[in-house]
Amino acid sequence: MWAIFKQEKSEAFERFKAFKTLVEKELGKHILTLKTDRGGEFTSREFQEFCEESGIKRHLTAPYTPQQNGVVERRNQTLMEMTRSILKAMKVPNYLWGEAVRHATYIINRVHTKALEKKTPYESLREKKPNLGHLRVFGCVAYAKVEAGHLKKLDDKSESLVHLGIEPGSKPYRLYNPSTRRIVVSRDVFFDEKTNWSWKETEDGPSMDPGMFHMIWRGIVDTGEGPVIVNNQPHEYTQEENEAENHGGDDHKR
């Protein structure tokens, strides 16, 4: 399962082309089937022509029938529930929900499911067992070593950050500095997994802009080795939903 983020529906075609290239190069397999809803971003002429030229068979669900894409709907529910749990466990602000979704996806791909007998999705796709020894608690305090070339005589040798999981496409850890609002990627990290960040000191973090589209690309792609979830479910946040999300409201459902 992949989680791909975008802000506009119009990005769907370019994101799918990039996804196709990534999957086929990384796995050495061709996408045979793509199942989506009938959103305009999936039914454009250029999207259809691209699939035909690439030998990809299209399956479009009927309008207002999410049950036709039941596998995706159930998996998305699991993903959202895990994301909420990850954020709440270490009291991470909701504006970092995208990072939590990414981390939840990483975990889901490495645990057993009923659909795969005695295998994880990772093992089914890559034909080797996943290594879980590097996983650390999402949202815990992490100390990343500062490179000697950037140190002055009295500077701290490490930087206090927040752990956000594994950097996509590589092995280093993905970390966040709430004070500077920047992402740091580092291999040399010490984790205090029992301690969460004191967010009150940096609570004026970025918030979701009202009316922005926040979407997760999800659905079903068949590479010939069984289905892989990757479709699209758009949701436009209203002013009220953003306020509830930013204040930790539990009533907001996606």
For 31-89, how does the pLDDT look when each residue is reduced to its tens digit (9 = 90+)?
898 888 888 888 899 999 999 999 999 988 877 666 666 666 788 888 899 999 999 99
Task: Return all residues near 68 (Cβ < 8 A) that are at least 6 apart.
Answer: 61, 62
Domain ranges in the chain are 4-135+208-246, 140-196
The answer for residues whose C-beta is within 8 angstroms of residue 94's C-beta and 6 or more apart is: 87, 245, 246, 248
Residues in the chain: 254
Q: What SS3 class is residue 35? A: strand
Predicted local confidence at residue 66, as pLDDT: 63
- pTM score above 0.75: no
Cα separation, 127 vs 93, in Å, equals: 37
Give the C-alpha separation, 7 to 229, whole Å. 20
pLDDT of 211 above 60: no
Residue located via tokens 């020894």: 133
Binning the chain into helix, strand and coil, the percentages to the nearest 5 are 35, 20, 45
Residue ranges in 32-69 assigned as alpha helix (H): 45-53
Strands of 4-6's sheet, edge to edge? 4-6, 215-217, 232-233
Q: What is the largest CA-CA distance in the chain?
A: 66
123 SS3 class: helix
Domain 4-135+208-246 falls in which CATH fold?
A: Nucleotidyltransferase; domain 5 (3.30.420)
* pLDDT (0 to 100) of residue 218: 39
Best CA proximity match to 229, nearest among 63, 113, 149: 113
pLDDT in tens, 155-201: 567 889 999 999 987 889 999 999 999 999 999 999 999 999 999 86
Which secondary structure element, helix H or strand E, spans residue 190, and what is its range?
strand 189-196
C-alpha 213/C-alpha 133 separation (Å) is: 36
